[in-house]
Amino acid sequence: MDNSMEERLISPEELNSDDLKKKVWREFKKSWGIAFPGTVARLTSFGMIVVTQLFMGHVSELDLAAFGLQQSILIRFVNGILIGMSSATETLCGQAYGAGQYHMMGIYLQRSWIIDGVTATILLPLFIFTAPILKLLGQDEDIAIEAGKMSLWFIPILYYYVLSLTIQMYLQAQQKNKIVGLFTASSFLVHVLLSWLFVIKLGLGVAGAMSAFIISAWLLVIGEFVYIFGGWCPHTWKGFTKAAFADMLPLLKLSLSSGVMICLEFWYTSILVLLAGYMKNATVAISAFSICINIYGCDFMICLGFLGASSVRVSNELGKGNAKAARFSIKVALVTSVIIGIIFWILCLVFSNEIAYLFTSNEEIAESVSRLHVLLAFSVLLNSIYPVLSGVAIGAGVQSTVAFLNLGSYYVIGVPIGLVLGYVAHLQIQGLWIGLLTGVVVLTLLLSYLTWRIDWDEQVHKAEERLGRFFLEPPKQSVENSNLA
């Protein structure tokens, strides 16, 4: 009897303490094997944007402000949609891998390229008409015009996101996470080098900074293509096929619900940054709020690694038909993430004054950040819980339900409370952040209840039905090869 069969027959209650420790350790290693490279990938991808923004500061203050506005509103908006839609690929590929339907993973990947590519093309007008859009939102005219010029450089980045995000989900689902982390980290180092060369040494300005971003991003995609097409995914990539165009509607529905689920989270902080810009001392308010959002965002990138890990582990086990193992993986991932969250929570409380001076030397801004440190610390703590629960939702394929929970928690509760406390109660940015934290608390409670109420045996059946609906027979040659193996 193999180990997977033993795990299905033996319940946690029947294990003695030594067996339980071994089982927890095995699950811990599996989760970290997915979470750590995923965290590296997300941090370095986020870091490419941060590095570009840093080098923009060497060009001019106007270009720095234009890039910051572009990044915090437009790129965050688009990125949220595409990350969300690519999580549908993660659900299907993860469940197919668990079920042993390896050849279907390449088909799912190609379908996601089609759907996400069409979505990116629909979003192109946002990049073409950036200047009038930002003016309509009430932003400074000079910054809006400069951002409009810069936005055309982001069009290649838009399609880079389509390919890199879906490929990352495809590779992650088959637990090739080390490759994902290696490629993204290498791309980040190339980006830093090219940015220094083009902006500092050659003095190419905006064109240099954006060219460095585009080149390093597409080198990542080319490397991933070489890895997939070069034979390193022999079981899951069988070449391009017309089957990718068949039965698109169910995947489109799942992609859209996934897109709404994730982008509602990404837009939440962007909206609050915009609201901070309408306060009396807008420069200080935006600067302080943005510093806290950057800290919050870096922590969130780490937690997204656990989102990916919980998603992959749950979808793999559901694909195998193992409901008990899916539940167990959730517990281990949640406990691990919470421990990390507590560590960052303590750091935020202890080093509240020092944190601000990493970003600014302005006393007024630093004081505003310091006043937010307790709220920031508890936001970081909650960051360790709800991304894992969101990953569970992606793994189970219940993104549409979570999308409604996000909408209610963030936009029906969080934003209105922030507005009332910030502007009516005159708590300024503290009021906005209390609103943000309230929305996160409500979402965490709802996701906890949803996870507790999920019938995992029923989710196993739904996974089987979903995979059966999409299933296509593998090519005859691949079947013969697998039999020979």
- The CA-based angle 81-401-88, given to 5 degrees, is 45
Range of weakest confidence among 176-190, 220-234, 274-288, 438-452: 274-288
pLDDT for residue 283 = 63
Q: How confident is the model over 417-421, as a mean pLDDT?
A: 90
- Residue range 193-244, pLDDT digits in tens: 999 999 999 999 899 999 999 999 999 999 999 999 999 999 999 899 888 8
Looking at the chain, the whole-number percentage of residues with pLDDT higher than 90 is 20
- Ramachandran angles phi, psi of 202, nearest 5°: -95, -15
114: exposed, middle or buried (Cβ count in 10 Å: 0-12, 13-18, 19+)? middle
Q: What is the dihedral of CA 58, 60, 65, 70, to 10 degrees?
A: -80
Give the domain extent around 453.
Answer: 24-474
**Crossing angle, helix 386-396 and helix 456-470, to 10 degrees?**
50
Distance CA 31, CA 36 (A): 8
Closest to 69 measured CA to CA, from 151, 124, 128: 151
Please, what's the b/e burial string for 238-274 (b: 16 or more CB within 10 A of its CB; e: otherwise)?
A: beeeebbeeeeeebbebbbbbbbbbbbbbbbbbbbbb
Does residue 97 surpass a pLDDT of 70? yes
Neighbours of 132 (CB within 10 A): 12
pLDDT for residue 277 = 63
- Provide CB contacts within 8 A for 193, sequence distance 6+: none
468, part of any domain: yes
Neighbours of 197 (CB within 10 A): 13
| Residue 444 near residue 473, CB atoms below 8 Å | no
Does residue 8 surpass a pLDDT of 50? no
231: exposed, middle or buried (Cβ count in 10 Å: 0-12, 13-18, 19+)? exposed
Confidence of residue 251 (pLDDT cuts 50, 70, 90): confident
pLDDT for residue 470 = 62
479, part of any domain: no
Distance CA 218, CA 228 (A): 15
Tokens describing residue 87: 């999580």
- Residue range 109-128, pLDDT digits in tens: 999 899 999 999 999 999 99
pLDDT for residue 9 = 38
- Residue range 379-398, pLDDT digits in tens: 888 888 887 887 777 767 67
Neighbours of 189 (CB within 10 A): 11
- Chain centroid offset of residue 449 CA: 23
pLDDT for residue 114 = 92
- What separation in angstroms does the CA of 58 have from each of 69, 141, 187, 209, 212? 17, 22, 22, 10, 14
Tell which phi-psi region holds residue 279, choosing left (phi > 0), alpha (psi between -120 and 50) or beta. beta
- What separation in angstroms does the CA of 385 have from each of 189, 391, 398? 31, 10, 18
Does residue 292 surpass a pLDDT of 80? no
Q: What is the dihedral of CA 442, 447, 449, 450, to 10 degrees?
A: 140
Distance CA 485, CA 482 (A): 5
Distance CA 388, CA 335 (A): 10
Does residue 414 surpass a pLDDT of 60? yes
Side chain identity at residue 247, one-letter code: D
- Name, of 4-8, 80-84, 168-172, 269-273, the range with top average pLDDT: 168-172
Range of weakest confidence among 142-156, 209-223, 362-376: 362-376
pLDDT for residue 10 = 43
Looking at the chain, the whole-number percentage of residues with pLDDT higher than 70 is 86
Distance CA 118, CA 170 (A): 19
Local structure of 123: helix, strand or coil: coil
Does residue 282 surpass a pLDDT of 70? no
Confidence of residue 359 (pLDDT cuts 50, 70, 90): low
175, part of any domain: yes
Local structure of 464: helix, strand or coil: helix
Closest to 394 measured CA to CA, from 84, 134, 167: 84
Confidence of residue 360 (pLDDT cuts 50, 70, 90): low
Distance CA 101, CA 98 (A): 8
485, part of any domain: no
pLDDT for residue 416 = 92
Residue 90's H or E segment, with its range, is helix 76-99
6, part of any domain: no
Does residue 75 surpass a pLDDT of 90? no
- Residue range 128-141, pLDDT digits in tens: 999 998 888 777 78
- The CA-based angle 395-459-38, given to 5 degrees, is 10
Tokens describing residue 113: 């390229």
248, part of any domain: yes
Range of weakest confidence among 77-81, 99-103, 300-304: 300-304
pLDDT for residue 187 = 94
380, part of any domain: yes
For residues 72 and 43, the model is more confident at 43
Confidence of residue 479 (pLDDT cuts 50, 70, 90): very low
Closest to 13 measured CA to CA, from 313, 327, 282: 327
pLDDT for residue 336 = 82
If you ran DSSP here, which 8-state letter would residue 247 be given? S
Closest to 323 measured CA to CA, from 222, 439, 120, 461: 461
* pTM of the complete model beyond 0.85: no
484, part of any domain: no
Q: For the chain, how many structural domains are there in total?
A: 1
Distance CA 182, CA 276 (A): 38
Average pLDDT, the chain: 80
- Residue range 158-182, pLDDT digits in tens: 999 999 989 988 998 887 878 888 9
- What separation in angstroms does the CA of 463 have from each of 319, 326, 383, 397? 6, 12, 28, 8
Confidence of residue 14 (pLDDT cuts 50, 70, 90): very low
Confidence of residue 4 (pLDDT cuts 50, 70, 90): very low
Confidence of residue 469 (pLDDT cuts 50, 70, 90): low
Please, what's the b/e burial string for 70-99 (b: 16 or more CB within 10 A of its CB; e: otherwise)?
A: bbbbbbbebbbbbbbbbbbbbbbbbbbbbb
- Provide CB contacts within 8 A for 58, sequence distance 6+: 199, 200
